[in-house]
């Protein structure tokens, strides 16, 4: 089932520019406020959570989204894929070393996903995906998405969810929103939090 959600339209229309800003200058402060910023960007649900300070670029906003997608997704309780190894790192994988990767490295410096330190890896096509925890794809990259247990896939091209991707970033009315393919996530042994599911502009369940 594919569900489109537009219940935040009115709230978005009344958003203030502060929704594109955050308080504080350090990466750690950004990560602490990250999910509040995500909520603010989606519908200005907490407009007081991000008072005007430093203007965020779109790439920095995307970086915060990616980090929080990782924070609010986890392996299903029955998934023992990496339980025995107890990984110390959370590996974010990108195909390109571009401005988004540089922004991501800057805003996640010193941050952790749970107890795991953030690691950034550039991949060459399908090589090395088994070591990735989150794979980000630009529009047109890897037309056939791999099915790897425990791998969270995020993309920004139209039709990403229909190709088997799990989270699709998109622009709606000048704002970044996202859709979720919960069926694809479950097939990979991943659980996406109720908070993210509630905020999704589109939810694909079958």
CA distance 13 to 166: 27
pLDDT (tens digit, 9 = 90+) per residue, 149-196?
999 999 988 889 988 899 999 988 888 899 999 999 999 999 999 999
CA distance 107 to 189: 28
Domain ranges in the chain?
57-204
- What kind of fold does domain 57-204 have according to CATH? Rossmann fold (3.40.50)
Q: Please, are residues 178 and 41 in contact by the beta-carbon 8 Å criterion?
A: no
Query: pTM (2 decimals)?
Result: 0.75
CA distance 148 to 189: 9
Q: Please, are residues 134 and 66 in contact by the beta-carbon 8 Å criterion?
A: yes
Q: Please, are residues 75 and 81 in contact by the beta-carbon 8 Å criterion?
A: yes
**Both structure tokens of 175:** 């704002």
């Amino acid at each position: 089932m594919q569900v489109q959600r537009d219940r935040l339209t009115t709230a978005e229309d009344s958003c203030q520019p502060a929704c594109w800003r955050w308080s504080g200058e350090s990466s750690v402060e950004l990560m602490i406020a990250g999910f509040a910023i995500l909520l603010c960007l989606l519908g200005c649900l907490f407009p007081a959570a991000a008072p005007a300070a430093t203007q965020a670029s779109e790439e920095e906003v995307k970086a915060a989204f990616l980090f929080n997608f990782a924070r609010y997704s986890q392996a299903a309780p029955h998934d023992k894929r990496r339980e025995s190894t107890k990984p110390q790192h959370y590996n974010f994988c990108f195909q390109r070393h571009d401005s988004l990767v540089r922004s991501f490295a800057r805003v996640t410096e010193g941050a952790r996903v749970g107890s795991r330190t953030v690691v950034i890896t550039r991949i060459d096509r399908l090589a090395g995906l088994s070591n990735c925890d989150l794979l980000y794809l630009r529009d047109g990259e890897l037309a056939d998405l791999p099915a790897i247990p425990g791998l969270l896939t995020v993309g920004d091209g139209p039709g990403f969810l229909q190709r088997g991707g799990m989270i699709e970033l998109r622009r709606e009315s000048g704002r970044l929103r996202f859709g979720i393919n919960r069926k694809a996530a479950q097939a990979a042994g991943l659980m996406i939090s109720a908070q993210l599911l509630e905020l999704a502009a589109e939810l694909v369940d079958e």
